[in-house]
Amino acid sequence: MKLFTTRTLPLISAALFAFSFSASAQATVIDLGVANGYSAFIFGNIGSSNASGFTSVGGSLAAGGNIYLDGYSVGSNKKPGSAVNTLVAGNSLNIGGGTINGTGVYGVSNASGSVTAPSWYPSGTFSKGNASTLDFAAAQQQLTTLSGDVAKLQSNGTVISQYGGFKLVGDVNADVNVFTIAANDLHNLTLDVSSLKSTASIIINGTATNITMSGGFDNFGSFADRTLLNFANATTTNLNNVGINGSILAPNSAFSGSGSMNGTLVANSVSSINYGHVSMNGAGFNTVSVSAVPEPGTYAMLLAGLGLLAFVRRRRTPARAPQAAMA
């Protein structure tokens, strides 16, 4: 009996440890970090020499490469918590006619970066930066890793195809609702608010490599700062005249199209946006922690360990002595 106990108790302990470790150590904290202070945080270029990257931006812009803007306004609706500088470029700023509410910094990652802008901008609007201004390389690594981690989260919400679009039905008891959609065209997404807590966070994992958002995105308004569309596999992301209430995390994607967005955009690059509008409306995406669901193997180990524990206890319980008969 002693040998049996010596062999089995370590297994039981390991099962219980694995269960507790799995439930705590694997929790995913969804935090856009430094990107939360911007309407768009881009690793490469915003726009090109032939086209303006954006025409109207309520918050701030950051790009690890070059920023091209013409016929635009930036920083017109900056909110508390927004980035200090309205424009931050890792390389060069190429500014045409437009308005900047705030200051612009260039040459953050490349000391050879320069600024090209009309002479009528006030003195001090543009200045040379360095790596201490903003570490694009570290931010890219953090956000790319985050996108991959979020993509692995287990769905607890239901996606129903209807009327050429998708209805998202959540778990009314969940603080974080995770939905997974494999379609290339995210068309007419409708959030079933009756199935959600009013304080719930919404995570939508789009698994396609080329994603187009079109139609309507209904009922997301009150969840804008708690909605994240995560496109970990996407190489292209396009807005097709649609309004998005939420943030987009697409670290490997080229972003393009037209429409509106109420949140933070994280992407690899931005090409011409025809009459596009990206506004901050506060603080991007609110940080949230998602507890991991233990793997099936961990449950099996736990159940086996508890079964062994019960067996050991039965074996160790001494038999009761027979009671004397009443005289």
Per-residue model confidence as pLDDT tens for the chain (327 residues): 554 455 555 555 554 444 444 444 578 999 999 999 899 999 999 999 888 888 888 889 999 999 999 888 899 888 777 888 999 999 999 999 899 999 999 999 999 999 999 999 999 999 999 989 999 999 999 999 999 999 999 999 999 999 899 999 999 999 999 999 999 999 999 999 999 999 999 999 999 999 999 999 999 999 999 999 999 999 999 999 889 999 999 999 999 988 888 999 999 999 877 656 666 555 589 999 998 654 444 445 545 555 554 555 555 555 554 554 444
In a domain, 322, yes or no: no
Q: CB neighbours (10 Å) of residue 173?
A: 9
Task: Please give the order of strands across the beta sheet that includes 115-116.
Answer: 67-69, 93-95, 115-116
Could you tell me if 301 and 205 lie in one domain?
Answer: no
In a domain, 151, yes or no: yes
Could you tell me if 256 and 118 lie in one domain?
Answer: yes
Could you tell me if 163 and 207 lie in one domain?
Answer: yes
Q: List the domain range (segments joined by +) for residue 140.
A: 28-290
User: CB of 34 within 8 A of CB of 132?
Assistant: no
Spatial distance between the Cα atoms of 242 and 187, rounded to a whole number of angstroms = 9
pTM across the whole model: 0.83
Spatial distance between the Cα atoms of 176 and 237, rounded to a whole number of angstroms = 24
Could you tell me if 164 and 184 lie in one domain?
Answer: yes
For residue 295, the number of C-alpha atoms closer than 13 Å in the C-beta half-sphere is: 10
In a domain, 326, yes or no: no
Could you tell me if 40 and 19 lie in one domain?
Answer: no
